[in-house]
Amino acid sequence: MKNNDFKAVAADKNNPNYGELTRRENGLYSEKGEVRSEFARDYTRVLHSTAYRRLKHKTQVFYNIENDHICTRMEHVLHVESAAYTIAKRLKLNDELTRAIAMAHDLGHAPFGHHGERIIGKLYKKYLQGETFWHEKNGLYLADKIELLPDHENVYRNLNLTYAVRDGIISHCGEVDETGVKPREELFDLALFNTPGKYQPVTYEGCVVKLSDKIAYVGRDIEDALNLGFLSPASVGKLQKIVGLKNGEAVNTSTIMSNMILDVCRVSTPDKGICFSEDMGETLTKIKAFNNENIYKNKRFSAFNRYADLVISELFATLYSCYDRGDPVRGLEKKKHAYPTLVQEFCDYLFKYCADEYSRAAGWKKQAFYKNAKPYGALETKEIYARAVLDYIAGMTDRFAVKCFDELITY
- Measured CA to CA, the distance from residue 24 to residue 145 in angstroms comes to 13
Tallying the residues shown for the chain, one arrives at: 411
| pLDDT confidence of residue 367 | 59
Longest CA pairwise span in the chain (Å)? 70
Amino acid letter for position 383: E
pLDDT (tens digit, 9 = 90+) per residue, 337-382? 999 999 999 999 999 999 988 888 888 776 568 899 999 999 999 9
- What value, to the nearest 5°, has the Cα angle with vertex 408 and ends 403 and 411? 110
Question: Which residues share a beta bridge with 273?
Answer: 269
Amino acid letter for position 388: A
Q: Structure pTM?
A: 0.94
Contact 379, 388 (CB under 8 A): yes
- Measured CA to CA, the distance from residue 138 to residue 128 in angstroms comes to 14
Q: In 3D, which of 308, 181, 208 has the Cα closest to residue 265?
A: 208
- Measured CA to CA, the distance from residue 211 to residue 284 in angstroms comes to 11
Beta-carbon contacts of 27 under 8 Å, excluding residues fewer than 6 positions away, are none
| pLDDT confidence of residue 357 | 87
- What value, to the nearest 5°, has the Cα angle with vertex 379 and ends 376 and 380? 120
- Measured CA to CA, the distance from residue 342 to residue 314 in angstroms comes to 12
pLDDT (tens digit, 9 = 90+) per residue, 223-237? 888 888 888 888 888
- Measured CA to CA, the distance from residue 17 to residue 203 in angstroms comes to 10
Q: Dihedrals φ, ψ of 180, to 5°?
A: -155, 145
| pLDDT confidence of residue 247 | 61
Q: DSSP per residue over 148-199, as a string?
A: EEE-TTSEEEE----HHHHHHHHT---SS--SEE---S----GGG--STTSS
Question: Which residues share a beta bridge with 274?
Answer: 181
- Measured CA to CA, the distance from residue 82 to residue 49 in angstroms comes to 20
Amino acid letter for position 285: T
| pLDDT confidence of residue 1 | 43
- Please compute Rg for the chain using Cα positions: 22
- What value, to the nearest 5°, has the Cα angle with vertex 104 and ends 103 and 108? 135
Q: Please, what sign has the CA dihedral across residues 58, 63, 69, 75?
A: negative
| Tens-digit pLDDT string for the chain (411 aa) | 457 789 999 999 999 999 999 999 988 887 777 899 999 999 999 999 999 999 999 988 888 767 777 888 999 999 999 999 999 999 999 999 999 999 999 999 999 999 999 999 999 999 999 899 999 999 999 999 999 999 888 899 999 999 999 999 999 985 555 677 999 999 999 999 999 988 999 999 999 999 999 999 888 888 888 888 888 888 888 888 887 766 666 777 788 889 899 999 999 999 999 999 999 999 889 989 998 998 888 888 899 999 999 999 999 999 999 998 888 999 999 999 999 999 999 999 999 999 988 888 888 776 568 899 999 999 999 999 999 999 999 999 999 999 999 999 986
Q: Dihedrals φ, ψ of 128, to 5°?
A: -120, 40
| pLDDT confidence of residue 362 | 82
Question: Which residues share a beta bridge with 150?
Answer: 156
